[in-house]
Amino acid sequence: LFNPNNTMDMWREDSDAPWAIDKLAQNDHVVGLKSFPSLSHTPLNDPKYFPYYELAIRHDIPVLLHCSASGSDYSSAHMIRQVCTQYPNLKLVLAHFGGLNVEYMQKAVALAKEFPNIYLNTTALDPDRVKRQVSNASYSRSVKPVEQSKEQIRTVFLDALATIPHKILFGSDLGYYPP
């Protein structure tokens, strides 16, 4: 997990610095990087991300981007398009099928159809669950019902399954959501 942050002149931790992540990525056990743009208050198309994208390309590992229904200021489809255009060899995995919001999910599926380097994961797609949010200000958790219907989510998922099955990755968020 790396977290560039627009509010800091230096990296929050030395372990978040690109040179430290680059060193870790040389380990055979590192299979990818993850970032949580809305938690670090840094849009994914911010130049602070570019060194991480470049090292992911260099090490041939994907970047998992946390996408949330409330995080469009930090991980919108427009930003994802910009990053994929600038870094066509960067493998991106969009968590939560692009955002646990039917509109965001539809845009993510369209991006995955358009760009060969975009993948979607299924974490937290269960519409029967409650939505757990982490506050960007206090890092406290809150719970609220999911606003999308089961049928809406199923429709988007089945479209993706029919058209881009090779780009759907199973994920559970186990540990955050109970099985």
Q: Residue 131's pLDDT is what? A: 56
Task: Give the pLDDT band (50/70/90) at residue 40.
Answer: confident
Contact between 125 and 154 under an 8 Å Cβ cutoff? The reply is no
Q: What would the two tokens of residue 104 be?
A: 């965001």
**Segment 31-43 mean pLDDT:** 85
Residue that the structure tokens 């560039």 belong to = 4
Contact between 85 and 58 under an 8 Å Cβ cutoff? The reply is no
99 vs 58, residue with greater confidence: 58
Lowest mean pLDDT among 43-52, 56-65, 149-158: 149-158
Closest CA relative to residue 33, chosen from 62, 74, 3:
62
Alpha helices in 3-128 (DSSP H): 18-25, 37-40, 50-59, 72-75, 77-86, 102-114
Indicate if the pLDDT at residue 113 is higher than 80.
yes
Task: Give the pLDDT band (50/70/90) at residue 8.
Answer: very low
105 vs 158: CA distance, rounded Å: 12
Q: Residue 176's pLDDT is what? A: 55
The contacts of residue 8 (CB under 8 Å, 6+ apart) are: none
